[in-house]
Structure 1
Amino acid sequence: MTPVQTRTRPPAHRRSGTATITVTVEIPADDPRLARRLTAALGVLAQGGGRVAVSGEGAPVVPAEPAAPEPAAAPALVIDVAGREVTIRGEAVALTRLEFDLLAFLARHPGMVHTRPELLRYVWETPDTGLPGRTVDVHVRRLRAKLAEFDALVATVRGVGYRFTRSRDVEYRAAPGYADLDRVLSI
């Protein structure tokens, strides 16, 4: 098999933003499975709204059929604030009140780093007294243990605090009207 050759032509119409890309691949005639696999791969590209055409040497151009879209997978981790329930793949996870509040607070603000004093203020609703206690760290450790394979979602930012990592596997379900009851962050 020879290397793949590509040639790109600039967009015919600047406003459309489309480009034509020609890819030439030489496939041995005695390997028809490779041609079918390549056609299937090009069909995946066509799902993005593009148009893909496949032709053989001396054969007419055959438009590749886009593959049927896969059904959307249910999120693996669901945080239901209204029901105060966390499920992993449909199985309920037993969390204490503070563990649930900590997870819900972090997940409500994904990507945002929260210091230990902030977490004490907003989750525990107690002021930071400046004591060297490890209450937040202990609760984060227990929460991670219960989240099992999703323990990495609660990330440690060394020397600062904790952050909930964004993930497509997580669904955060806020209660109706919950935004009004949500604590305002004053940082």
Structure 2
Amino acid sequence: MAIETATLAGGCFWCTEAVFNDVIGVERVESGYIGGSVANPTYKAVCSGTTGHAEAIRVSFDTDQINYGEILDIFLGTHDPTQLNRQGNDVGTQYRSAIFPHSPEQEAQARQAIERAAPDWPAPIVTSIEPLAEWWPAEEYHQEYWSGEGQRNPYCLAVIPPKLRKLRKSFAARTKAGETA
């Protein structure tokens, strides 16, 4: 088993974490913050939009089961990469769509994935490719949020199930639940 890491920002990390926890080959998803200027950022500080960080996830995946390009296709297909600094009602640079490559190979694959996804969207993709920066894990209560507290959170109940349905329809062969969930 060869483990690779992808770092992705696609709006609320609770939502992107829920999507990737259902992907075959994903070993671990950690919510956190990246791309800002403040050490040890907190959720409250990042949500204020003043730290420069994005809410993001760090996905560890088994390359024998899924490759980085497929991870990126799922990422670009399960959030709206055409919205600048927002996802739905979440507005600000902390909710930007961004890919943080871990290598020059990942950067090249990120550019290819954006080109592949462009015809699927009615507006230009604004997902940025940003330099890998220091990763700050989010507070413990944010980890595995959807499988716990998120099931009772009205915001999550409104946003996450449609993302999971889209994942399971568009990428059924790549999901743990398949089309039946």
What is the TM-score of this pair, normalised by structure 1? 0.23
**Which structure is higher in helix share?**
2
Question: If you compute each CA radius of gyration, which structure gives the higher value, 1 or 2?
Answer: 1
What is the TM-score of this pair, normalised by structure 2? 0.23
Higher relative contact order (CA 8 A, sep 6+): 2
